[in-house]
Structure 1
Amino acid sequence: MAALLGRRALIQAFRVHTADRDNVCRLVSSSCCTRQYGLPGKKLVTSHGAAIRYYSSDSKDDLRVRYLDGEDSGIVVVGLNRPKAKNAISKNLVKMMFETVEDIKKNNKVRSVIICSLVPGIFCAGADLKERAKMHQSEVGPFVSKARALITELGNLPVPTIAAIDGAALGGGLEMALSCDIRISSNNAKMGLVEAKLAIIPGAGGTQRLPRAIGVALAKELIFAARAVDGKEALRLGLVSHSVEQNESGDAAYLRALELAREINPQGPIAVRMAKLAINQGIEVDLATGLAIEEACYAQVIPTKDRLEGLAAFKEKRRPHFKGE
């Protein structure tokens, strides 16, 4: 029953396609997204007869985005949805993800982002090699550059990002996950930068982000050997923060990611953004410079209304109500 309820929660998060810019619903004031789409294609059904997942071959459904509402307002769930291509990174997917990232950057109501998959057993299989095989050689470089730029933009989002890895994350798929602040996987997920099997190297940040995540020697070993590891091994290596037992619905990592997003949600949003900035900038420099960066970020939270609200709530022994001001 818990698994079914969890799957319903996940699918409810993808009834609105916010990547369609003309119909995008943004979280402003107390508004919420209400437009729903009935998609053609394969449909799975729960024991209660409720549809839990829709697939479509229409390219406009390659990415499905939902700005959650109610108590979860502020959480954005970005779902990869290319079942026939195992969520491989295509030109269209890159375009749609760029649009989504831009929408999120402009929305100061967003407090966290979850990137997950709507396709059972897969997170992202990497680059769409079938599409790439049809490209002229002169097109390959610019496409890889654009994909790299997208993953960089994901990493530069000012709010916490969580990758929910409920299936295979290989090549560019793992690079996408590595750009997120936090990674959560199922125990049976497979992760690896396997590009050496194709006589190429990771081209979207993998050679830089993997060593920063697990250390230089281990990163070299995995990349040189094109080795994939499961969730338990990824946790041991420090590649993921949590590895959870997969459930019958195949969305255990997503549900754990949602729990974490709900922990982040009530915290001071400006403080969280400044903490991310201080960590990301500080980790790349010497300690003295890092401390100066922290001081500058701290200065940004002192004049906020949220800081005064936090002090008042502490004094009055009540839950604070932060507005991001």
Structure 2
Amino acid sequence: MIRTEREGAVATLTLSRPPVNAIDPAFVDALEAALDTVEAMQPTLVVIRSNQKCFCAGADLALIRSFFDGADGTGRMVAYVRTLHAVFNRLEALPAVTLAVIDGPALGGGLELALACDLRIATTRAKLGLPEARVGMIPGAGGPSA
């Protein structure tokens, strides 16, 4: 789901959850594991990129919908959002320079992932946005504070 490679002082994390790198608990766990690996590597630069058509399309909407099908949907949703905050805060605090290479849509939580990096570079195919704002929601993973 997230491949970690190192070449010299550069570590590269490649997001690969077909088809659009939607964020779910397994994605969060994979990002946590990748950050464990990166911290052990102690690189100077960490590049985050995708091998899918999207950099990251944000939350897995089916997952979000499923949270509210159960009795404690709100509680489950809050717990999930806290995991997003934790992993994005960890990325932001890495002692290496972090660079998001955006070559496709980075939407919602995907844009928030990119905003947790020190630097972002986008190609002409990139589309950046927080679509949840259109329906009156705030970005859940820290977008307003990034």
Q: Which amino acid aligns with 2:125?
A: N
Is 1:91 matched with 2:25?
A: yes
Q: Provide TM-score, normalisation by structure 1.
A: 0.42
**2:76 corresponds to 1:139:** yes
Partners of 1:118 and 1:189 lie apart in 2 by 14
Distance 1:198 1:76 in 2: 37
Contact 2:56 2:111 in 1 (8 A): yes
> Whose helix proportion is higher, 1 or 2?
1
Which amino acid is 2:2 matched to?
Answer: L
- Give per-residue Cα distances to partners, 1:209-262, cap 9 Å, x unaligned: 2xxxxxxxxxxxxxxxxxxxxxxxxxxxxxxxxxxxxxxxxxxxxxxxxxxxxx
User: 2:53 matched to 1:116?
Assistant: no
Aligned residue type for 2:88: I
The residue number in structure 2 matching 1:78 is 13
Structure 1 residue 206 displacement after superposition:
0.8
Q: What's 2:3 paired with?
A: 64
1:158 aligns with 2:83: no
1:64 to partner: Cα distance = 1.5
Provide the rounded CA distance (Å) in 1 between the counterparts of 2:15 and 2:41.
Answer: 21
* 1:193 alignment partner in structure 2: 130
Corresponding letter in the other structure for 2:131: V
Partner of 1:83, secondary structure, is: coil
| RMSD of aligned Cα (Å) | 1.3
User: 1:198 & 1:105 partners in 2: Cα distance?
Assistant: 38
Query: 1:43-62 residue pairs with structure 2 within 5 A?
Result: 62=1
1:176-191 equivalence runs, <5 A? 176-191=113-128
> Which stretches of structure 1, 4 residues or more, deviate above 6 A after TM superposition?
none
| Aligned-residue offset at 1:207 | 0.6
Tell me how far apart the structure 1 counterparts of residues 3 and 55 of structure 2 sit (CA, whole Å).
14
Residue equivalent to 1:126: 58
Cα shift readout 1:17-49 (whole Å, capped 9, x = no counterpart):
xxxxxxxxxxxxxxxxxxxxxxxxxxxxxxxxx
Q: TM-score w.r.t. structure 2 length?
A: 0.90
Report sequence identity in percent: 38
Deviation of 1:106 after TM superposition, in Å, equals 2.8
State the 1:91 CA deviation: 0.4
User: How many residue pairs get matched?
Assistant: 141
Deviations 1:47-101 (A, max 9, x none): xxxxxxxxxxxxxxx2122122xxxx121111111123x1011100100101111
- Structure 1 segments unaligned to the other structure (5+ residues): 1-61, 210-325
| Shift in Å, 1:208 | 1.4
1:172 is displaced (CA, Å) by 0.6
In structure 2, the CA distance between the partners of 1:112 and 1:200, relative to structure 1 (3 Å rule), is same
Cα–Cα, structure 1 residues 106 and 65, in superposed 2: closer, same or farther, change >3 Å? Answer: closer
Q: Flag the structure with higher strand content.
A: 2
